[in-house]
Amino acid sequence: MKRPHLSKIVTSFVQWFDAEYVDPNNATPVGDLDRINWVRCLPFVILHLGCLAVFWVGWSWLAVQTALALYVVRMFAITGIYHRYFSHRTFRTSRWAQFAFAILGASSVQRGPLWWAVNHRNHHRYSDTAADPHSPVLHGFWRSHAGWFMSTRHYKTDYRRISDFARFPELVWLNRFDKAVPAALAVALYLSGFWLERAAPSLGVTGLQLFVWGFVLSTTVLFHATASINSVAHLIGRRRYDTGDDSRNNFLLALLTLGEGWHNNHHQHMACTRQGFYWWEIDLTYYGLKLLSWTGLIWDLKPVPAKAYDPAEQLRSEPMASAL
Ligand SMILES: [Zn+2]
Ligand SMILES: [Zn+2]
């Protein structure tokens, strides 16, 4: 392994806080772009090691419930907001709600909304070809699951590919300082636990306990569940449509990711809000978005096109009567 130069380490360190920082004197050689940037992704490694701290801080019902609630809310933020809104624009909303949604998405610690959406758009554009950022078929499981975004090539946001949202300065700011919201969440969890330890000692909660369960563990599990769509959902499951790539429908992944497991459906019709096309294809994100549309906060949810149910389009035709 090549030893990184000190100034490169400093650059990576500054980039922990400012994702857009570039050192003009220290451009990464093209041949090194696909290498894993260990200094840059050290917080990600520490997050994983930090999960072991659950044995040290102990547990309480409130800590477990907080971890679970933050998993569900932030999974919805990733699937409903980063994916179905910023990546595919499958519904519309107001500018202020868009920013509030982006903040909620950023709390998932999966970088900024524009970074996430650009890479995802590239995934659809080049799905399971050499230019796909994460294809388990071509690049292997580990690379498609996590290695791809740990490499220097994929840290940058290519704003040209997301000009529709890059015209909003508040989103560009959030994308640049993508650690701001996660840091605020981590501090808020610690302080809440610290306060409860004194105000309600019977709960058995401490500041560190709420931080470790609610932030460290919940965020790590959330990451792996999300990443499994990039890795497992292109390897294991059934194919309803001939999408020209290896995307698959996987019931278990759909439960874990609140609906994203209907990945073959999604690759076939990526513009519709709903990814579970039949009543038995549970898609909790869609149900949540439908509820939100009744409040008037979001609108113009794109329906599943009628041709999705056409037996001629399906490799394995499903009964029409069951279609919603
Ligand atoms: Zn895919
Ligand atoms: Zn997509």
Give the Å distance between the CA of 310 and the centre of ligand 1: 22
Per-residue pLDDT at 21 exceeds 90: no
Question: Which ligand is nearest the CA of 235, by number?
Answer: 1
Q: Are the CB atoms for 233 and 263 separated by under 8 Å?
A: yes
Q: What is the pLDDT of residue 3?
A: 57
Give the Å distance between the CA of 123 and the centre of ligand 2: 8
Give the Å distance between the CA of 189 and the centre of ligand 2: 31
Kindly state the DSSP code that residue 241 receives in the 8-state scheme: B
Between the CA of residue 195 and those of 68, 87, 204, 260, what are the distances in Å?
21, 39, 12, 37
Give the Å distance between the CA of 25 and the centre of ligand 2: 36
Q: Are the CB atoms for 66 and 186 separated by under 8 Å?
A: no
Per-residue pLDDT at 322 exceeds 60: no
Give the Å distance between the CA of 46 and the centre of ligand 1: 28
Residues 187-216 have a mean pLDDT of 97
Q: Angle between the 113-125 and 169-176 helix axes, to the nearest 10 degrees? A: 90
Per-residue pLDDT at 4 exceeds 70: no
Q: Whole-angstrom Cα distance, residue 186 to residue 203? A: 20
Question: Which ligand is nearest the CA of 88, by number?
Answer: 2
Residues 107-116 have a mean pLDDT of 97
Per-residue pLDDT at 319 exceeds 80: no
Q: How confident is the model at residue 105 (pLDDT cuts 50, 70, 90)?
A: very high
Kindly state the DSSP code that residue 233 receives in the 8-state scheme: G
Q: How confident is the model at residue 28 (pLDDT cuts 50, 70, 90)?
A: confident
Give the Å distance between the CA of 297 and the centre of ligand 2: 22
Give the Å distance between the CA of 145 and the centre of ligand 1: 12
Give the Å distance between the CA of 87 and the centre of ligand 2: 7
Question: Which ligand is nearest the CA of 123, by number?
Answer: 1
Q: What rounded mean pLDDT belongs to the chain?
A: 93
Give the Å distance between the CA of 266 and the centre of ligand 1: 8
Torsional class of 93: left (φ above 0), alpha (ψ -120 to 50), beta (otherwise): beta
Give the Å distance between the CA of 85 and the centre of ligand 2: 10
- Extended strands (E) in the chain: 92-93, 298-299
Q: What is the pLDDT of residue 206?
A: 96
- Count Cβ atoms within 10 A of the Cβ of residue 259 and give its class: 0-12 exposed, 13-18 middle, 19 or more buried: buried
Give the Å distance between the CA of 313 and the centre of ligand 1: 19
Per-residue pLDDT at 134 exceeds 70: yes
**Length of the chain measured in residues:** 324
Give the Å distance between the CA of 177 and the centre of ligand 1: 27
Give the Å distance between the CA of 253 and the centre of ligand 2: 15
Give the Å distance between the CA of 300 and the centre of ligand 2: 18
Per-residue pLDDT at 96 exceeds 70: yes
Q: Whole-angstrom Cα distance, residue 211 to residue 185? A: 9
Give the Å distance between the CA of 131 and the centre of ligand 1: 13
Per-residue pLDDT at 151 exceeds 90: yes
Residues 69-89 have a mean pLDDT of 98
Per-residue pLDDT at 2 exceeds 70: no
Give the Å distance between the CA of 84 and the centre of ligand 2: 7
Question: Which ligand is nearest the CA of 120, by number?
Answer: 2
Q: Is the pTM of this model over 0.85?
A: yes
Which pLDDT tens digit goes with each residue over 271-303?
999 999 999 999 999 999 999 999 999 999 999
Per-residue pLDDT at 267 exceeds 90: yes
Give the Å distance between the CA of 200 and the centre of ligand 1: 46
Question: Which ligand is nearest the CA of 228, by number?
Answer: 1
Residues 163-180 have a mean pLDDT of 97
Q: What is the pLDDT of residue 145?
A: 97
Give the Å distance between the CA of 230 and the centre of ligand 1: 6
Question: Which ligand is nearest the CA of 128, by number?
Answer: 1
Question: Which ligand is nearest the CA of 259, by number?
Answer: 2
Q: What is the pLDDT of residue 321?
A: 45
> Which is more confidently placed, 45 or 1?
45
Per-residue pLDDT at 23 exceeds 90: no
